[in-house]
Amino acid sequence: MIACGLLAIGVAPAGAAELTSLLLPSGRELTVEVVSNDEERALGLMFRDSLPADRGMLFLFESSGFHSIWMKNCRFPIDIVWLDENRRVVHLAENVPPCRQEPCPTYAPLRRARYVLELNAGQARREGALVGATLEFKLSR
């Protein structure tokens, strides 16, 4: 399970994650933090007060699977977008609220995904990142 965050020890230093551009179906370009190891994925967006409108977080996995998310220690609602290996949206959870009490619910895709994108709540629909749409981004790894 990954997060908005999984329980993590400490907070990663600012700027530690790789940044890349991601093009949404609307034509809007975002700068996304790419998180690709267990520690980065566990921390996710935990403990942050907000996410700038032109930013997102992209979780990269070694293989496709039913990668689940929970909102423990998250402070604001988000949209969660699962993408397959072709960067096509296979599942979307909109306006997912922060976890307010234990146990925190988990959110998982109905189809296998290789990537998970976290955006501000409402942004996925506004920018056309709906099931079947393809997002564009390049990775250094």
Domains and CATH numbers, the chain: 2-137 (2.60.120.1140)
**Percent of the chain residues past pLDDT 70, beyond the cut:** 87
Q: Which of 92, 72, 71, 68 has the alpha carbon at shortest distance from 80?
A: 92
pLDDT score recorded for residue 14: 46
User: DSSP state, 135?
Assistant: -
CA distances to 24, 69, 107, 109 from 30, in Å: 8, 21, 23, 23
Q: Is the pTM of this model over 0.75?
A: yes
pLDDT score recorded for residue 9: 27
Q: How crowded is residue 4: how many other Cβ atoms within 10 Å of its Cβ? A: 29
pLDDT score recorded for residue 13: 42
Res. 10 pLDDT band, cuts 50 70 90? very low
